[in-house]
Amino acid sequence: RRRREGKTDYRARRKMVRQDKNKFNNKKYRMVVRFTNRKCICQIMYATIRGDMVVAQATSAELVKFGVPAGYKNYAAAYCTGLLVARRVLKKF
């Protein structure tokens, strides 16, 4: 269904998620950035057999707390949101 809708390219996903044989059962983290009509969403994820697990997430709408009044979908907002999710991941590990 996701292939029909054009949401997932399974050949590219398999290539991205595939792990070396000597790194069995280790997590391979990746950063996923999605743009909606109003905001930017950044997530740190890893893949498992059961599905993708999200380690940390941040949205550009949270930039209000840091003094950004508007413009949650531009390049600068995406950069700031990436920094925010990176801080959360480093705090967690």
**In this predicted model, what pLDDT tens digit does every residue of 16-74 receive, in sequence order?**
778 777 788 788 898 999 999 999 999 999 988 788 899 999 999 999 999 988 888 99
Angle, CA 19 vertex, CA 93 and CA 5 arms, to 5°: 95
pLDDT for position 4: 82
Q: 86: burial class by Cβ within 10 Å (0-12, 13-18, 19+)?
A: middle
Closest CA to 41 of 87, 93, 82, 88: 82
pLDDT for position 61: 93
